[in-house]
Structure 1
């Protein structure tokens, strides 16, 4: 039922996933709302509205990446899986830094995955590097996504030495502008970034069993979809191999960010939702068993809803 509904790209499907995202967002915010003064409450809800709009924008960018680059057929599975996996980690609804950082990473990945067309590769390399370094200002370890820039250069335009220099130019551009603005307005911003530059491999941070269950099931689905992609990679069109490999690298780096980041919480999994949604979409599309498609789509959505409720 679920898979058949989203097997076509209809406006109704996108309305459905957006309504699901908006309802779950406000239910979580109301449930977690603390008493505060009127002025603080207004500012708080404006921040929350910004988070919601950024998440909706991230949903459409993920769908755009998937469709524009031929990573899916004419369906809306990527939108479905994006929202379903988002329900696993409702903690992200209150973490503006992770949401903003994830949004800029998506803008970067949009440019890098489209490099297979070889149209304006230098602009895409510079733009992607710029977005990644901006994302690092909100969550430092998202800087690891710069690896995907060099992977893309290797895949497509390694012959021109100027392409290897562009990420460093973007780094200095963002660094100089950030230092100038920090010195002009608030020097503590520099210390905030500096304090994020640490590694923590401890995982004893979860306080509720529901968060543990969400992490385990998220990891299980991730393992299944990643292995399925690796096993079926040879069956994909040759022209798409580089794009799928980049999606796999993006997913693996997002897991590395989760592992090394200090102050761990499930919101960090947001970085992996875009590549995981693409992997899940590819798995459902390549399966010819209609029942299996329904089971996969229904299981992910049902687990997301149940885990969201348990984490309220």
Structure 2
């Protein structure tokens, strides 16, 4: 019943997803509001909600445009549920903007399966990822995904390997120029500060531990089937599917390296993880197990809100 409802992509599902995202936002801010709620605060939060919802629409576009899922709403539902699992992912505005730009870059990387406008795609991908790193430094790791994708597509054109670096340099030049105009300094606008922390004590709560355990266990289990399923895809799509699993690995590395482990760092993992788990849900042969699998992912985050 649940899987049948979300088996097709319809506008009504985005309304459901919107309210799940809104619930995650409200829950994350119940104890964070200082100095009362005013118009300025409401406008800022409205912009952040818009950014997250834009990420969801962008995720849907990436998955459907590149046949990464079977044109259903599983990936957008899962992304919104992940936000509800770890509501702190909505609390850091810089991370939200950074993730949005990473998804713009991922969109261009995945579209490299088509050789059309390949130079523009490489430049755009590097440009967006470099821009994302201005908001959250460790998102620069997704730049490696561009180079790995060139390996997957066996691209031996040396010029193609140089173009991504031009995209990064372009952002650097623009940032320095704007910084000089606004702050009269070259690097005030550039927040490239590679701090690392291995202190995971912030995750020592029941809600965090349950959420992380469920997401990682469901993600790893789904990844096994996802990797096996790649072989069944058409040859032209296989590299795109491999790109998603690599993006998930990079997202996990960011979680490990993140200097301030407040939960927001998990956001970079959510988009590729949603596609991976959505793929697994599609291939589950037993109807009852498919309902149970998705039912747990839907009910558990709402239950955790009570902890």
Query: Does the alignment reach a TM-score above 0.5?
Result: yes
Q: Distance in 2 between matches of 1:201 and 1:49?
A: 33
1:88 aligned residue: 85
- Once the two structures are TM-superposed, the CA of residue 188 in structure 1 deviates from its matched residue by 9.5
Q: Distance in 1 between matches of 2:83 and 2:255?
A: 16
The verdict on how the C-alpha distance between 1:35 and 1:188 changes in structure 2, with shifts beyond 3 A counting, is farther
Contact 1:215 1:266 in 2 (8 A): no
2:240 aligned residue: 243
Within 5 A, what are the aligned runs for 1:101-250? 101-156=98-153, 158-186=155-183, 187=185, 190=188, 193-194=191-192, 196-206=193-203, 208-250=205-247
Tell which has more relative contact order, 1 or 2 (C-alpha 8 A, sep 6+). Answer: 1
Q: Distance in 1 between matches of 2:98 and 2:53?
A: 14
Q: Which moved more, 1:231-240 or 1:293-302?
A: 231-240
Q: Distance in 2 between matches of 1:130 and 1:250?
A: 17
Contact 1:4 1:294 in 2 (8 A): no
Q: Which moved more, 1:211-220 or 1:134-143?
A: 211-220
The verdict on how the C-alpha distance between 1:45 and 1:309 changes in structure 2, with shifts beyond 3 A counting, is farther
Q: Distance in 1 between matches of 2:304 and 2:186?
A: 38
Secondary structure of 2:191 counterpart? helix
Q: Which moved more, 1:259-268 or 1:301-310?
A: 301-310
- Structure 2 segments unaligned to the other structure (5+ residues): none
Secondary structure of 2:231 counterpart? helix
User: Aligned to 1:259, which of 256, 260, 274?
Assistant: 256
The verdict on how the C-alpha distance between 1:18 and 1:288 changes in structure 2, with shifts beyond 3 A counting, is same
Q: Distance in 2 between matches of 1:207 and 1:192?
A: 33
Q: Which moved more, 1:242-251 or 1:147-156?
A: 147-156
Q: CA RMSD in A?
A: 1.9
Q: Distance in 1 between matches of 2:87 and 2:306?
A: 9
Q: Distance in 1 between matches of 2:156 and 2:186?
A: 42
- Once the two structures are TM-superposed, the CA of residue 307 in structure 1 deviates from its matched residue by 2.4
Q: Distance in 2 between matches of 1:37 and 1:188?
A: 37
Give the alignment's TM-score, normalised by structure 1: 0.92
Contact 2:109 2:149 in 1 (8 A): yes
Q: Distance in 1 between matches of 2:116 and 2:302?
A: 41
2:19 aligned residue: 19
Contact 1:21 1:83 in 2 (8 A): yes
Give the alignment's TM-score, normalised by structure 2: 0.93
Structure 1 stretches of 4+ moved >4 Å: none
Paired positions, count: 306
Q: Distance in 2 between matches of 1:120 and 1:191?
A: 31
- Structure 1 segments unaligned to the other structure (5+ residues): none
1:34 aligned residue: 33
